[in-house]
Amino acid sequence: MHSFLQSSNDLLRQRGYRLTPQRHMILSVIQEAEEHLSIDQIMERVQQLNPYVSLSTVYRTIELLKSVGLIRESHLPGEQPLYETAEGHAHHHLVCRRCRATFHLNEELLGNLNEQLQKQYHFHGLSLELVAAGYCDVCWKKIQQELAQEQELSQE
What percentage of the chain has pLDDT greater than the value 70?
Answer: 96
pLDDT confidence band for 65 (50 / 70 / 90): very high
CATH number of the domain at 140, please: 3.30.1490.190
Q: Is residue 99 marked as binding?
A: yes
Residues 7 and 60 in one domain: yes
Q: Is residue 96 marked as binding?
A: yes
pLDDT confidence band for 1 (50 / 70 / 90): very low
Q: Which of 41, 62, 87 is the last residue of a domain?
A: 87
- How do residues 41-55 score in pLDDT, each as one tens digit? 999 999 999 999 999
Residues 67 and 16 in one domain: yes
> d(Cα 30, Cα 17) in Å, to the nearest integer?
19
- CA-wise closest residue to 135 among 105, 104, 96: 96
Counted domains in the chain: 2
Q: Is residue 136 marked as binding?
A: yes
Angle at 128 between CA 126 and CA 129, to 5 degrees: 145
- CA-wise closest residue to 143 among 135, 131, 132: 135
Residues 79 and 141 in one domain: no
Q: What is the pTM of this model?
A: 0.69
Q: Which range of residues forms the domain containing residue 133?
A: 89-156
